[in-house]
A and B are shown apart, each in its own frame.
Chain A
């Protein structure tokens, strides 16, 4: 394995200010939005507590709509509310936000250009003990295939809060994906969230790690471990999977010449494939995937599942070493 140096390089350090769930970031963002934008309305399919929508509901009962366990109806109502200038935020689990209501989203929202924000919690395998019926690992693919759909997967509480507020200003349908477990909260509390703009978290020369969602913190941990072995890893946080920041990716690989993508999603249809397309069209170079391998999940704790399905910092380190060897 050839690397640029064999001594430890100084790195930016990120402080975990305390583990928090990204869904609470969504709830906090929605609460703030409710106070400052009276056109924002919220709909929930019997998961108000799980989605952390209680404060919005308490502050604005006239703008909160309990739909019951009827997600298809919720999507249609949200589409209709945009006619008259409302900005609907729908809330349920990622599985019931996408696969269950794909045709409703496709026709009534995406094809109809409706300004609906589909907010999806409990995405991925870290939903944990409820098992595979609730752990969707296909939702990014489903949503990114819809013409005109913006797809965002945030990495921590602060970023989820900032994204929730930012998407209200964006005209058009958005899929916002976040999760259930408490994870490291390390991004800036007062960050400006720019849709479609990648965030470079570490500079490096030997490999580019492109991560989204819960895997971003794992990527930072992996970069630290790699650095201790003399491997200089660049880390890019891709919160917006569509539209993808191709420029940031190409700029990084022009230096590192190899990529590891990391996501809590099936590698079919995920961030990794979107990155592959950018590379194939512009600047082909080796890529390895940290993602689930065309499988359903199962019950377990989030940490156990991340380990079993190869979605943690150790897996990223292993793939980084492998991809560097392929250069």
Chain B
């Protein structure tokens, strides 16, 4: 699938509208991190990954993706729907009773595109490793992609997984960490400093690719191409994606305040005005 950067910019704007409208409707959910990773997820599902919206759980002979920081589900659902995994109309059911679009992603309701539940943090790396090793056993040379929050790295299971990945030479997996520097209680530096994340991954035996402009689609394509080139070299690959939380809505940017808070009617209107409709609202 090839898509021009201009088209993707339009899609990003539409995805932002989806995120804002979803969380506004139910007055809950996590817009900040969702907006921050919108460019990355749009690019990933439109050109970077070789994936099949005709969903199969096993994902044989296609690239597969795991969202470890499950709270940015509004973004995940919007991108999946707009990639053809399910109808965009279903975005209207986000967090409502009897919906497949649960507060955090789950396989429990059979939503196409979701391969494991996430929300309780720190579990996605291990799951991605398992899927990558299954691909190796199956002789499937496609890749596993995963996305993780930076605050999420405070969970110890990640470090178990990082150690294992290097020791077992898991080189068919690209783990991306959203380095937005924010978490629920404040800046990661204030809550529990992560220190030098790049040095830590490298010390664990990983190849680290940095994307300084994590909200720039061209920079994302360039960085992810470099990451892909580094797969198959006997080392796990990490992408440090430096993003701005709340990107695309001026009053939500550069703060943890919108991590898990929905805009009110007035705020929604301002936010949507900053992101005019491009493809069509659900």
Contacts and interface: CB of A to CB of B under 8 A. Distances in A.
Interface string B221-265: 000000000000000000000000000000000000000000000
B51 interface: no
B160 A113 contact: no
B157 A77 contact: no
Interface string A114-125: 100000000000
Contacts of A41: 137
Interface in B9-64: 57-60, 64
B148 interface: no
A18 interface: no
Given A72-B160, A78-B130, A83 B64 contact: yes
B135 interface: yes
Contacts of B157: 72-73, 76, 104
A86 B137 contact: yes
B108 A77 contact: no
B123 A84 contact: no
Contacts of B118: 107
B168 A65 contact: yes
Residues of A in contact with B, size category: 20 to 34
A63 B136 CA distance: 11
Contacts of A68: 160, 163-164, 167
Contact of A111 (B117, B127, B156, B160): B117
Given A80-B116, A83-B58, A83-B115, A113 B137 contact: no
Contact of A80 (B106, B117, B132, B140): B132
B140 A84 contact: yes
Given A83-B58, A111-B117, A114-B116, A75 B163 contact: no
A76 B107 contact: no
Contacts of A75: 126
A111 B167 CA distance: 29
A49 interface: no
Interface in A66-100: 67-68, 70, 72-86, 88
Nearest to B134: A84
Given A70-B163, A107-B123, A111-B108, A63 B137 contact: yes
B67 interface: no
B67 to A, nearest CB: 13
Contact of A77 (B107, B120, B133, B137): B133
Interface residues of B, number: 39
Interface in A165-199: none
Nearest to B105: A112
Contact of A108 (B117, B137, B138, B163): B117
A62 B137 CA distance: 8
Contacts of B128: 80
A228 interface: no
B129 A76 contact: yes
A84 B135 contact: yes
Contacts of B127: 76-77, 79-80, 83, 108
A103 interface: yes
A111 B102 CA distance: 13
Contacts of A74: 126
Given A76-B157, A108-B126, A83 B137 contact: no
Interface of A: 41, 62-63, 65, 67-68, 70, 72-86, 88, 103-104, 106-108, 111-114
Interface of B: 57-60, 64, 66, 106-108, 115-120, 123-135, 137-138, 140, 156-157, 160-161, 163-164, 167-168
> Which 9 pairs show the lowest CB-CB distances between chains A and B?
A80-B130, A76-B126, A84-B134, A73-B160, A70-B160, A77-B130, A80-B127, A81-B130, A80-B131
